Amino acid sequence: MYPITIHPNERVLSPPPGQHEEISCLRVVDITYADGTPGCISCWQLTAEDIQRIQETGKLYICVLGRSQPPILPTVSKEELGL
């Protein structure tokens, strides 16, 4: 899978210094929900192989570097995110 452009008002998150070969830039859209909670949305395009693996296992793994996991909202619906 790979990140794709979804909105004209995106910004780019760059990899940490020295990790440009291992980590790609990530385009994100900043949002603020009605209750004032900020959010940051990226969109990922699945390959045919990704789709097949998800159909076989029903699983998607998410890894966030570091020792903490910020709140995330995995979804297949951009409407659920407010886009």
Q: Could you state, in order of their start, the residue ranges of all structural domains in the chain?
A: 2-81
Q: What is the pTM of this model?
A: 0.80
Q: What angle do CA 12, 13, 19 make, to 5 degrees?
A: 130
Interval 65-79: pLDDT, tens: 788 878 888 888 888
Closest CA to 26 of 64, 66, 52: 64
Which amino acid is present at 31?
A: I
**What pLDDT shows up at residue 28?**
94
> Nearest CA to 72 among 27, 35, 40?
40
The predicted pLDDT at position 10 comes to: 92
pLDDT in tens, the chain (83 residues): 999 999 899 999 998 899 888 888 899 999 999 999 999 999 999 999 999 999 999 999 998 878 887 888 888 888 888 77
